[in-house]
Amino acid sequence: MTKPRVSVVLPMRNAAATIERAVRSILNSTLRELELIVIDDGSDDGSAEVVWKIPDPRLRLLKQESLGVCSAANLGTAKATAPLIARMDADDISHPTRIEKQLSLLYNSGRDLVGCRVRIIDALGQTVESMQRYERWSNSMTEPNQIAAMRFVELPIVNPTLLAKREVFELGYREGNWPEDYDLCLRAVGQGYTAAKVPEVLFDWIDSDNRLTRTDARYSPEAFDRCRKTHLLNGPLAGKNEIDLWGAGQTGKPWLRWLQAEGFTVRHIIEVSPKKIGSLIHGVPVIADTTIPLPDGTPLIIAVGTVGAREIIEANLKKKGYIPGKDAWFIC
């Protein structure tokens, strides 16, 4: 077999109904110089037997006791032989040109990790309405500066679409009480690895009722919030004493309480509501968005959840000289 240019790592547990489709979608890639490593994480539904029956020398099956998705993915990384590693999940569909186009983007752009746009559908191929806002937002995040600046909003690159230099995946997925994929993304970008995305839908993300992101508490909104806050404390807020906060609504007030509980002095709360401007909230003066101070090294956290507000705030920040991802951080 030709030496693979990309190793695709696919953890699997009890996926007999979908694994053949997922495997064949990778093996049918236009990039032929790849290996696909399927890691069976203690399946008891015949998943391994399905994989064994697929005749392709590029396919490898590893088996382990039920140790979880982090252990399975890390085992795949350890056993990969290519300099680049891509991810795949057992119930998704990779389009034929996905790997080839991501490989081209990574080499031509000099980035360290790349994804692609996705289509989020259910098991019947229908649009998942509850995921449309995330799909639109994620698919809009294609450039390195966008991904770095907006990484605390949500996971900017859907994990099974990742293709990256080996060293990125060698950071390892970590077990914890939060989403391991978001944690890896925040660590990688926080350490200076640059990310981009092929601006084309090359992946069908199947949002089935039994998907881990639907059934496991590690993927709850509260778990994402724990991950987000931990990485903020260890990243942009590390060593800082003062913070500015944009937003005093339903989203902003809990963040104000959290920041104060963590020992930060919140200098100002920025607001657009005339009723709030000029008042004190938890002892913090509320100022108008027109009087926001110029950047001076104090991090600005933007906690406004209103649809469409992000774009307006970003435009205002740029007029004042703020650079999202350097001086200001969106968290929703």
**What pLDDT was estimated at residue 115?**
98
Which of 173, 200, 226 represents a domain boundary (last residue)?
A: 226
How far is it, in rounded angstroms, from Cα 94 to Cα 200?
A: 12
CB atoms within 10 A of CB 289: 15
CATH of the domain at 59: 3.90.550.10
Cα–Cα distance between 113 and 284 in angstroms, integer?
40
Distance of alpha carbon 231 from alpha carbon 187, whole angstroms: 8
Q: Are 186 and 227 in contact (CB under 8 A)?
A: yes
CA distances (Å), origin 99, targets 21, 26, 29, 178, 283: 16, 8, 7, 28, 53
Residue 285 φ/ψ, nearest 5 degrees: -70, 140
One domain for residues 215 and 102:
yes
Instruction: Write down the pLDDT at residue 38.
Output: 98
Q: How far is residue 317's CA from residue 319's CA, in Å, rounded to a whole number? A: 5
**Cα–Cα dist 216/177, whole Å:** 10
Kindly report the number of other CB atoms within 10 A of residue 312's CB atom: 13
In CATH, what number is assigned to the domain containing residue 267?
3.40.50.720
Note the pLDDT of residue 1. Answer: 66
- Are 62 and 35 spatial neighbours (Cβ–Cβ below 8 Å)? no
The CA distance from 55 to 229, in Å, is 46
- Rounded to 10°, the helix 180-190/221-234 angle is 20
Residue 246 and residue 218 in one domain: no
Residue spans of the chain under pLDDT 50? none
The last residue of one of the domains, among 166, 197, 226, is 226
On whether both 219 and 74 belong to a single domain, the answer is yes
- Residue 236 domain-assigned (yes or no): no
Which amino acid, residue 57? P
Residues 102 and 220 in one domain: yes
Domain-terminating residue out of 200, 226, 252? 226
What is the value of pTM for the model shown? Answer: 0.94
Same domain, 153 and 253: no
Domain that includes residue 315, residue range = 241-330
